[in-house]
Chain A
Amino acid sequence: MELDYLATVLLSSLSSASVLLIATVGLAIVFGLMGVINLAHGEFIMFGAYVALFATRNGVPFPLAVVLASVVTALFGAIVERAIIRHLYGRILDTLLATWGLSLVLYQSAVLIFGTVTPGVGMPQSNIEIGNYTLSTYLLFLILVAVVLIGLLYWLLTRTGYGIVARAAIQDPQTAATIGIESGRINTATFALGSGLAGFAGAILLPAFPATPSMGFAFVIKAFLAVVAAGPVTLSGTVVAGGALGSIASMTASFYTTVMGDVVFFLATITILRIFPLGISARWRLKL
């Protein structure tokens, strides 16, 4: 095996894991802090992608469009939380079904409004050469994005008033309630945060993954296996599980076939759950 090939495989599987992580982290936050699995997460990603797409086509610079997409999707998430999720607390399987219904509605609405084809943004045509191989700069940039994103979230959840209160509410709801934390508002904020992260993912991935109504579906399956494999510890669990699953699958695909990569992803998830029935982080003492 040539060294340059090995280096490219390593770097690109790292970028694959980053893509998975970016697409997953919003789902993980909502699951970790609210105990809710949002099956419409993929469609939230799609939502963000379309917002960013239309913003750029109307002359908004791409970085600004990413911010706009995150904010708009977060607002949309807040509305969804008030209208639907709120009524289903404590009924996790029902939430699963309701959000699946929401995903159908969003998907079909997108088909109706945008049609199934809309022009994409396109990736920056720049790449880095490693020996005989080239890697797209943008995909490498996504590694950086993932690292910064996780860092920011860590800061948000540990150093800000919202983060501390949100974590308190999940760790001890009763005490939180007695000291006057309004769990309703916290939940709306958390769900909006998760949705905003989905919108961000759709926007930041838009150059490499064109906006189509069905794009969410392709991301969400793996995202939500990664979250369940990760277990209750939101950030570090997701980083470990998502990173490991993503890069193992990508490497398998590099050395064998892409089908094999997918199968390995699924089998690894099942194995993890067999060993850690409640996810990889169920017994960690770390709480974030």
Chain B
Amino acid sequence: MRDRLKGTRMARAAAVVLALTMATGAWADDDVKVGAIFDLTGGLNIYGIQQSQALHLAVDSINAGGGVLGNQITVIENDAQSDLAKYTQYTNTLILRDQIDVLFAGLTSSSREAIRPIVRQKKVPYFYSALYEGGACDKQTFITGASASQQLSVLIDWAVKEYGPRIYIMAPDYNFGTISAHWVEYYAEQFGAEVLGADFLPLTVTDYSPTIQKIQGANPDFVVALPVGANQTGFLEQFAAAGLKDKMGIVSTNYGSGNQQVVVSPDAGEGIVASQEYFMWIDEPNNEPFMARWEEAYGLDEPIISEAADVWNAVHIWAAAVEIAGSTDNDAVIAALEGGVSFEGPNGTVSMQPGSHHLRQNIYIVRGNREHAFDVIQKFEYVVPSFEDEVCDLIANPDTAEHFVP
């Protein structure tokens, strides 16, 4: 049946729904209950659907291997509809009504921040799986995406060597952008480079000409561009059309995380450098079986995004921790996670840092080609979330509940 459904996105969305309703339909009482809240509809569903698909894939693979502690895992899923208030509502519902053992949820930092105080009060382990600006620190919260400093520490180093020391920043005007810009400046200084200027774009902006002029005025060696969502890819088109790509490099930490390379035309996308914890094109032993599984379930019309790998890793890390703890009890699972859990993911070995609850993982630097895809140019192995490890030690200070800002 899956083979027939494969193909159109509509059918795939329908398959998710089907799986979802079947999953919520019936479960035995001793099943382990996994709660999930992702944006299956609305503007963020480009991420949310794949996150949800990865979750179901991971749960199915664990269930096929006998489940956790001999019990099958049931997924109880809600669609946040790209509406922040829904996260608050469904988190409470999943905990109060469905009594879930663990929660996987959220894409935006704001969704994580909305969930954090609730899981903290109700004592449920929570996994957040998306690249973000970094700094979240809370006993109940575990983060499997890369943080901005993790990505930028290697990207800026690489780019300064590749292009030169003069940097310009184009970033969205909210936390992700401003904090990322901070890290660019921080690492620029560390690697002997200089930030010439920064332009922060509101999310609704469509007019990129002023930014492009300012970049020309500053004449940097490379631009750090962090366009959010598909809309801001217009910037990349206009950047290329103005002929700037021949004059300077362009690098990004989030380009590709929402499959922007598909939207951008070959002329504009070729040569854009991105750094993330996962790309579909990486050569790792576990990537091939992961992709095969994915293709069988959902097809590969749409490239797999890094958030999908983050969710896959999160589910397996949690399952491993449950096996170690011998129970799904909150304190025991957290203690097991803080004992250090590693997993061989599609993107190589990842391991949970006990103090900061962030992942130590590979960061890949890739370059866009003319086929709406990427070529891997360098792998940085086992990169430490250094900022989070430095400010956040939940073993020494278990009561910390903060979002650290550099």
Contact = CB atoms under 8 A, between A and B. Distances in A.
Interface of A: 5, 8-9, 12-13, 15-16, 19-20, 108, 111-127, 132-139, 207-210, 212-215, 217-219, 221-222, 246, 249-251, 253-254, 257-259, 261-262
Contact of B46 (A117, A133, A215): A117
B134 interface: no
A177 B10 CA distance: 48
Contacts of A249: 207
21 contacts: A5-B217, A12-B213, A19-B206, A108-B41, A114-B9, A117-B259, A117-B262, A117-B302, A122-B237, A125-B243, A126-B241, A136-B241, A209-B206, A210-B233, A210-B265, A212-B230, A214-B43, A219-B206, A222-B206, A253-B210, A262-B202
B242 A127 contact: yes
Given A116-B46, A125-B241, A16 B209 contact: yes
A136 to B, nearest CB: 4
Interface in B245-285: 258-260, 262-268
A156 B241 CA distance: 34
Interface in B8-47: 9-10, 13, 41-43, 45-46
Given A122-B266, A261-B207, A117 B241 contact: no
A257 B199 contact: yes
A119 B262 contact: yes
A119 B262 CA distance: 5
A258 B210 contact: yes
A210 B264 contact: yes
A262 B205 contact: yes
Interchain residue pairs A-B with the least CB separation, the first 10: A122-B265, A116-B46, A253-B210, A136-B241, A123-B241, A12-B209, A212-B230, A254-B210, A127-B243, A117-B262
Interface string B296-312: 00000010000000000
B13 A112 contact: yes
Q: Please classify how large the interface on chain B is, using the bins under 10, 10 to 19, 20 to 34, 35 or more.
A: 35 or more
B291 interface: no
Given A221-B204, A261-B210, 19 more contacts: A9-B210, A12-B213, A16-B210, A19-B206, A108-B41, A112-B13, A115-B46, A115-B302, A116-B45, A119-B265, A120-B268, A122-B237, A207-B241, A207-B265, A214-B229, A217-B204, A250-B210, A253-B211, A257-B200
B375 interface: no
Contacts of B399: none
B93 interface: no
A124 B241 CA distance: 6
B263 to A, nearest CB: 5
B267 A12 contact: no
A13 to B, nearest CB: 7
Contacts of A139: 209, 238, 241
B350 to A, nearest CB: 26
A111 B41 CA distance: 8
Contacts of B372: 119
Contacts of B268: 120, 122-123
B231 A212 contact: yes
Interface in B174-216: 199-202, 204-207, 209-214, 216
Contacts of B240: 123, 125
A68 to B, nearest CB: 20
A207 B212 CA distance: 17
B201 to A, nearest CB: 5
A20 B206 CA distance: 9
Nearest to B204: A218
Nearest to B236: A210
Contacts of A111: 41-43, 45
A215 B230 CA distance: 9
B216 to A, nearest CB: 5
